[in-house]
Amino acid sequence: MIELLAGQRVAVVSGAGMSTDSGIPDYRGPDSPPRNPMTYQQFVGDDEFRRHYWARNHVGWRHMDAARPNSGHRALAELERRRNVSGIITQNVDMLHTKAGSRRVIDLHGVYARVRCLGCERLVSRVALAQRLDRENPGFTESVAPADGVEIAPDADAVITSTAHFRMVDCEHCGGVLKPDIVYFGESVPKPRVADAFALVDESDALLVLGSSLTVMSGLRFVRRAAKAGTPVVIVNRGSTRGDPFAAVTSHAGCSETLAALLSSLPPRE
């Protein structure tokens, strides 16, 4: 792996396995429980689904906001400063690459910290929305956490069940439906974002996949793109992936320890 990546401009695709060492669970890791994330169609089409989601997110986003970059995130940021890494395409919404200091980060599926109005397209911060929801739901977080415990899913969704009494709010400007600025299952990644990601892959000499099973096409397409162009692909993931047939090297290892080894072994690019 080190021989393959040495001296190259490496594009990175990161998945949920990148953030497990920061306390954020993954979707499909060997020890992950079955998950049934809400779809875009459910969110926009059913008030009860939407209320249930916002109640869970109102608890879960705070845990994601409190998460801190792990040694793998910090190693990638340093590799970018050394010009070994050309940029990161992340499937994660946790913003930990940015918090670690990485500069060229394409948040493929959006970020947890913004909320979009589906009517007027205005963006507001999750902090500002939390303040409104707190006023409408005083003591909600404290009331559900002791009863249900708090398990956090990778999309900032807390696994709680007592949500019938939660009150939602709408856009302050147009009264439209508010949605986290996150790409849901059944929703398409914005085309300009995909184009930026393809451009990063095309200009790089190698592609390194970290902590993604590549089960969904949103990540697998970059592996296919690189392989079709003859760009070597390296995959690091605890378990097999859909991209393994396209890879020059696969490693069933953790991201943090792998990146620590790369950081100590790869000299900076000239």
Structure tokens belonging to residue 153: 């899913």
CB atoms within 10 A of CB 121: 10
CA distance linking residue 214 with residue 190, whole number of Å = 19
CB atoms within 10 A of CB 119: 14
Given the residues 97, 109, 165, 252, the one annotated as active site:
109
Question: Which residues are paired to 233 by β-bridges?
Answer: 207
CA distance linking residue 173 with residue 184, whole number of Å = 24
DSSP assignment of 91-147: --SS-HHHHHT-SSEEETTEEEEEEEETTT--EEEHHHHHHHHHHHSTTHHHHHHHH
- Please say if 109 is a catalytic residue: yes
* Residues acting as catalytic residues: 109
